[in-house]
Amino acid sequence: MSTELTTSKALQALDTAVRTWAASKTKLTSQRRGDLQRDKINAVKDFVNYVKIHPAQATPADVLGWWSDLIDRGFAVSTVYGMVSKLSSFYKWAMQTPETRAIFGYNPVVLARPEFPKMYQGKTVKAIDPKDRKALLDTVREMANAGDVSASRDYALLLFFITSGMRRSEILGLCWCDVKMGDTNMVTARVKGGKIRTVEINDERAWRALFDYLEASDRLWDIGGEDPLWVRHDPKATGPHNPLSTHGFAKRVKDYAKQAGIGDIHLHQFRHSFAKHVAETSGSITEAQEALGHENLATTKIYVERLSVKRDKYGSSALDEVL
């Protein structure tokens, strides 16, 4: 493997190596396999575009410079750490054989990577204002009512996000067999670590939107078994059951947000908003933990402490004792 990037052959060899690494280091059973592979590839490519040299020639200073550049471009600290970790994984993979180890020499990320940032401590822990959520829903619903099938799907998806607080991989990974309807309407989702979690969703508006979408997409009477609940309807879709990717939906939501005039948002903010609503409505952090499916109460505390408004229950009575 040449360390020069001046020829198309060298570029092709590096691209092949990166794609092979991403494929070999992503679980075959992952429902987000495509998204995960793409994120890994893009992380390494972003580094190469920044340093403009073969990664075998990069130094710890190059890694630190890339880290700083990502921050300057507006990436969250936790996102940057994840991208740098992916780069480190590529180096470790590339050094597994004597031939490639002789080329790469060492992993520059090891000497440059800062300590892992504390979870959810940055400014990225934000809820979406109810007015903004309404503006977003109104925009998507208007497009759905005009006959846009993708917008019909996205409106139903947004209602599922708002009413359940589930993670995007959980909602986007749903199949028809995961839906259970009766006196109580539920969905069964695959969560982090391969575990299964059943979530009750009883708001009729969310289910009505789902069935409106299935009818609009001519799938209402044909869907069954392992068929994905949410599929692509764009011209690039190669068949009737191409599942909608989390990346594709996230991009569409950002586009909707711009149309609604509410600025940039990301999907995880719907989970933040749900956490805030549950904590403030119930007044219980354990209620929020159960609703979010967090195993660690400390994670829920971070959500709630940063997002929730502490209600004034005792201020007036405390002042009454004095005045």
**Distance separating alpha carbons of residues 24 and 304, to the nearest angstrom:** 38
- 116 inside domain: no
- pLDDT tens digits for range 61-100: 999 989 888 888 877 777 788 888 899 999 999 888 887 7
Looking at the fold, whether 140 and 77 belong to one and the same domain comes out as: no
Q: 10-14, 214-218, 224-228 — which one is most confidently predicted on average?
A: 214-218
Looking at the fold, whether 157 and 95 belong to one and the same domain comes out as: no
- 1 inside domain: no
**Distance separating alpha carbons of residues 85 and 76, to the nearest angstrom:** 14
- 319 inside domain: no
Does the structure show a pLDDT above 50 at 139? Answer: yes
Which are the catalytic amino acids?
167, 192, 268, 271, 294, 303
Of 143-152, 177-186, 310-319, which gets the smallest average pLDDT?
310-319
Looking at the fold, whether 234 and 151 belong to one and the same domain comes out as: yes
CB 25 within 8 A of CB 89: yes
Angle between helices 130-145 and 204-216 (to 10 degrees): 30
Q: Dihedral sign for Cα 259, 263, 265, 269, please.
A: negative
Looking at the fold, whether 196 and 264 belong to one and the same domain comes out as: yes
pLDDT value at residue 117: 55
Quickly list DSSP for 175-232.
BGGGEE-SSS-EEEEE-GGG-EEEEE---HHHHHHHHHHHHHTT-TTT--TT-BSSB-
Share of the chain above pLDDT 90, in %: 27
Give the domain range for residue 92. Answer: 8-104
CB 183 within 8 A of CB 177: no
**Distance separating alpha carbons of residues 150 and 230, to the nearest angstrom:** 10
CB 274 within 8 A of CB 306: no
Integer angstrom CA distances of residue 283 from 54, 69, 250: 54, 41, 31
**Distance separating alpha carbons of residues 219 and 175, to the nearest angstrom:** 13
Structure-block tokens of residue 54:
């073969």
Does the structure show a pLDDT above 50 at 185? Answer: yes
- pLDDT tens digits for range 117-135: 554 444 455 778 889 999 9
Does the structure show a pLDDT above 70 at 323? Answer: no
The CATH number of the domain holding residue 296 is 1.10.443.10
pLDDT category, 215, cuts 50, 70, 90?
Answer: very high
Domain count along the chain: 2
Average pLDDT, the chain: 81
Looking at the fold, whether 191 and 255 belong to one and the same domain comes out as: yes
Looking at the fold, whether 299 and 224 belong to one and the same domain comes out as: yes
pLDDT value at residue 122: 46
Task: Name the residue with higher pLDDT: 280 or 247.
Answer: 247
CB 187 within 8 A of CB 201: yes
- 313 inside domain: no
Share of the chain above pLDDT 70, in %: 82
Nearest to 140 by CA among 263, 259, 271: 259
